[in-house]
Amino acid sequence: MSGSGGGYEPPQRTKFDCETGIIITNVSTVNILILEKREKGDVLEVVLTENRSLALEDGDGEILGSILHINTPDIIACIKNGASYEAEILDINSPACRVRIKRSEI
């Protein structure tokens, strides 16, 4: 068997585009009490917390949960460069919550 002998090289992940990037993911560390107040279609703000993680905040300043995704570091960099993002609740199956994150149209 012949080959290049270079070994396996995993595919490169696609870098998140600050302008047009969209991710669909489950919310991590969901606060059940906050989730009970939410419904499908609600839109939350994606915020950068004090410990530099992404969280979903409602209009009352309450945190629904955090976002852990392969593109989290990219979104954090976009936010630090002035972009803002929103998360629409796509599905609630307590305690799970699935959201679509995209750039805010403000």
Structure tokens that stand for 58 in this block: 């409602």
For the four alpha carbons of 41, 59, 87 and 38, in that order, the dihedral sign comes to negative
Q: Are 31 and 43 in contact (CB under 8 A)?
A: no
Under the banding of pLDDT at 50, 70 and 90, the label for residue 15 is confident
Q: Is 52 left (phi over 0), alpha (psi -120 to 50) or beta?
A: left
Asked if residue 4 belongs to a domain, the reply is no
- Domain range holding 60? 25-103
Q: Tell me: the pLDDT tens digits for 18-66?
A: 999 999 999 999 999 999 999 999 999 999 999 889 999 998 999 999 9
The number of helix segments (H) and strand segments (E) in the chain equals: 2, 6
Please, what is the average pLDDT of the chain? 89
13 within a domain of the structure (yes/no):
no
Q: What percent of the chain has pLDDT over 70?
A: 86
Q: How confident is the model at residue 105 (pLDDT cuts 50, 70, 90)?
A: confident
Asked whether 90 and 98 are in contact (CB, 8 A), the reply is yes
- How big is the chain, counted in residues? 106
Q: Give the sign of the dihedral formed by CA 70, CA 78, CA 17, CA 93.
A: positive
Which residue would you say has higher pLDDT here, 14 or 57?
A: 57
Which CATH number does the domain housing residue 46 bear? 3.30.70.2330
